[in-house]
Every structure is written in structure tokens, then in C-alpha cells.
């Protein structure tokens, strides 16, 4: 019940904010902020390629243990490679501001009801994660409404925007690792 109330507040906040920004332009891929965001993601991907090259390649296998092992080893390698990675390294303050703006655009009145319904149907999760955490295996992954994804900057394969509680996180699905977080993106 508590979760539902929080979810309701989140949705109300999103919808309310959306009215204030009606008419704003959607994502501009040429903007310096987005270019910087994409560059940071590309650097991450490059780092992951290097880390993965040191591991036995993961191919389709009948061994779940091999899949789990690869996921865990990759996560360990990435934590080591990123050293003191912290919140805001990818979602820099300007990028965060831009993402928040784009989220508000996605929730303009025309789209808000269906996005709201989608969020409700997605089995919302209440979870507070930190950069470098693994996404806990026993917690479902809330689906991200397509309208939000259409409005946000595109990500490289295997990196996803996910919603955890009120936060928007970047998840490396292959390493099952949280790369960055916008706290209270939905509050």
C-alpha cells in the first residue's frame, strides 16, 4: 500500500511537471550536453570491451553457472576498472538537468495517462541502489514505458534506463551493474 502511495506521488509529480513544459523541444542529439553524455557512455562501453576481452567469451550455453560467472566477473572487472566511480560521472549535472527536462516532456498531458497506467502495470519496485551495486536478482525489473524511452537519449546496446523507486538508473544488463543514478528523477 505504501509503495502504491509513493507511486501515486511519483506519477502526480511527473504529470504536474509535464504541464509546465508543454511545447519544449524534445531531445536534441546535437546539443553539447547530449554529446558529452554519449561520449561518457561510449567511454564506458570501450572500458567494458577491454574488461570483457580478458574474460572467456560468453556465448549461448546450457550452463547457467557459466552465465552467472561471466556476469559476476564482468561486474568485478568493471568495478575495478572504474575505480572511484561515483554518482554524476555519466549523468553529469547538465546531463541530469536535461534528462529531467526530457522526462517532463514525456509526461505532457497527451501521453501522461497511458504512461501512468504503464508504470502502474509494470510492478513498481522500491529500491535504493548506489553506483557500482549489482541489481538484486530477487527483485523484479520494472519495465520502462516506451514513451519515456522514445524521449530520452539513445543508449548503447546492453545499457538501459530503469526505474527503481523514485530514481532513474543506468543499468549495464550484461554485468548487471548500476552505472549511474538520477536520484528523485520521479519526485
121 binds another protein (CB under 8 A): yes
Cβ atoms within 10 Å of 177's Cβ, excluding its own = 24
Please pick, from the candidates 13, 17, 127, 141, the single residue that binds another protein as defined by CB under 8 A.
141
Q: Which stretch binds another protein (CB under 8 A): 14-22, 53-61, 90-98, 178-186?
A: 53-61
123 binds another protein (CB under 8 A): yes
Which among 7, 5, 2 is positioned nearest to 164, based on CA atoms?
7
Which among 91, 92, 120 is positioned nearest to 15, based on CA atoms?
120
Please pick, from the candidates 3, 67, 81, 97, the single residue that binds another protein as defined by CB under 8 A.
67
Return the exposure string of 33-51: e unless at least 16 CB atoms fall within 10 Å of the residue's CB, then b.
bbeebbebbeebbeebeeb
Q: Which stretch binds another protein (CB under 8 A): 16-24, 25-33, 83-91, 146-154?
A: 146-154
**Which residues lie closer than 8 Å to 76 by C-beta, 6 or more apart?**
none
Give 94 or 174: the residue with its C-beta nearer to another protein.
Answer: 174
**Nearest distance in Å: CB 55, another protein:** 13
**Nearest distance in Å: CB 26, another protein:** 12
Give, as one character, the DSSP assignment of residue 132.
T
**Nearest distance in Å: CB 101, another protein:** 19
Q: List 172's β-bridge partners, or say none.
A: 159, 177
Q: List 129's β-bridge partners, or say none.
A: none
What residues make contact with another protein under the rule CB under 8 A?
A: 58-65, 67-68, 71, 111, 113-115, 117-118, 120-123, 137-138, 140-147, 149-150, 154-155, 157, 160, 173-174, 176
Amino acid at each position: 500500500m505504501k509503495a502504491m502511495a509513493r507511486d501515486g506521488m511519483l506519477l502526480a509529480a511527473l504529470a504536474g511537471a509535464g504541464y509546465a513544459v508543454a511545447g519544449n523541444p524534445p531531445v536534441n542529439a546535437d546539443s553539447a550536453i547530449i554529446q558529452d553524455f554519449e561520449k561518457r557512455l561510449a567511454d564506458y562501453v570501450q572500458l567494458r570491451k577491454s574488461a570483457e576481452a580478458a574474460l572467456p567469451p560468453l556465448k549461448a550455453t546450457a550452463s547457467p553457472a557459466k552465465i552467472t560467472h561471466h556476469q559476476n566477473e564482468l561486474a568485478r572487472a568493471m568495478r575495478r576498472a572504474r575505480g572511484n566511480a561515483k554518482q554524476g560521472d555519466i549523468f553529469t549535472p547538465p546531463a541530469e538537468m536535461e534528462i529531467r527536462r526530457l522526462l517532463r516532456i514525456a509526461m505532457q498531458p497527451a501521453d501522461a495517462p497511458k504512461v501512468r497506467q504503464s508504470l502502474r502495470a509494470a510492478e513498481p519496485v522500491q529500491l535504493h541502489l548506489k553506483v557500482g551495486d549489482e541489481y538484486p536478482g530477487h527483485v523484479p525489473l520494472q519495465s520502462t514505458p516506451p514513451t519515456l524511452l522514445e524521449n530520452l537519449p539513445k543508449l548503447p546496446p546492453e545499457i538501459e534506463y530503469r526505474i527503481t523507486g523514485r530514481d532513474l538508473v543506468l543499468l549495464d544488463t550484461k554485468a548487471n551493474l548500476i552505472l549511474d543514478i538520477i536520484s528523485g528523477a520521479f519526485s
